[in-house]
Amino acid sequence: MRKLKLTAGERIIVLAVKGHERDENMSVVIGLTGGIATGKTTVSNMFKENGYPVIDADVIAKSLLVKGSQVYQEIIDTFGEAVLSTDDTINRKKLAKMLFNSDEVRKKINAIIHPKAIEIIHTEIGRYKQLGAPVIIVDIPLLFEAGLEKDMDYTILVFARKKDQVDRLMLRDKITEDYAKQKIKSQFPMSKKRELADFMIDNSKSILETKKSFQRVKDMIEAKVK
């Protein structure tokens, strides 16, 4: 069995992963995820500040949408010029609203973006492995929804109370409560993500508590790669 329960808020994994013992020279790939507006970016930045290489799926997805790219053209061919801003760049807010309003549209957008983003992620993982990075963090918002946990050695979930998610979304994106709840509903329920995650970081409390939880998880990871 892969997981051993540590506490209600954290989990630790035995070193044998996917049927083999970890070689001391093998990089460990960790998928970092969280519900929307749970504070995953905060934790991702903590990893960066501690010297870990972080592959950011959001940054990759944004780069794929640049004017003139293959993905840019596929988006226009699929949804028309209504998704463009006045400068002919893709209006990401319009695209996001379409995505959150329709399961069918979301599937079409994901079918265009995800394969190319995943290809780049794997290339980046390979690059960091060649550089000898002992731990590689892959920051992916839809890690479990896309089934990418199978490509990771371990997974970390950043979670928060649903009320906090709604409040943060309304403040951050300047949207209504209904739209905030709609965005949250478009992802896996937090209860399902918690079942799938190997480690968890609670970001429902103060930033100090989040840092403490991060440090505990970081220490456990580092103990496994020494």
Query: What does the DSSP assignment read for 161-194?
Result: -HHHHHHHHHHHHT--HHHHHHHHHTSPPHHHHH
Is pLDDT at 62 greater than 50 in this prediction?
yes
Rounded (10°) CA dihedral 41, 42, 46, 47: -20
Q: Is the CATH number of domain 1-53+133-226 3.40.50.300?
A: yes
Query: Nearest CA to 92 among 120, 122, 59?
Result: 59
3-state secondary structure of 205: coil
Domain locations in the chain? 1-53+133-226, 58-131
Encoded tokens for 94? 């319009």
The mean pLDDT of 175-188, rounded to a whole number, is 94
CB burial readout 174-205, b (16+ within 10 A) else e: ebeeebbbebbebbbebeebeeebbbbbbbee
Taking the C-alpha atoms of residue 181 and residue 220, their distance in angstroms, rounded to an integer, is 34
Is pLDDT at 24 greater than 70 in this prediction?
no
pTM of the model: 0.86
| Tens of pLDDT, residues 99-132 | 988 889 999 999 999 999 999 999 999 999 999 9
3-state secondary structure of 28: strand
2 pLDDT tier (thresholds 50, 70, 90): very low
